Structure 1
């Protein structure tokens, strides 16, 4: 059962900041953590996520892409924890 989630992001991404602000209340409810991965550090990640960030992914590879609201994210996270 994953307890860490990944935020695919890059410097200066205002949508990524919004995604984090949606994530933190969910994290407090569920007791999960978020690890940020800057896609600029990998050509493969730029190719995969360059126009899709922010994306939150679970350790098993399931993803939710922006836009999402707190309820949608909470349901995604809960689904990954069950």
Structure 2
């Protein structure tokens, strides 16, 4: 049970931040993270606290991804 909470806290944060950085778009990172969490981790059938913790972690990861790509310029 405690493992579910740890996974819900760490995995969405890392996914959202890394996918946002790789794609250079925070919306792609947020939507891809939501899709991965719902499909791979059986999201709709998890307890409500795990889902809420995952959502908060995903939003935090999206913000971290935004901060990470904020200074990157695609053109010189």
Q: Given the two structures, how large is their TM-score scaled by the length of structure 2?
A: 0.33
Identify, as 1 or 2, the structure richer in strand: 1
Q: Given the two structures, how large is their TM-score scaled by the length of structure 1?
A: 0.32
Identify, as 1 or 2, the structure richer in helix: 2
Larger Rg: 2
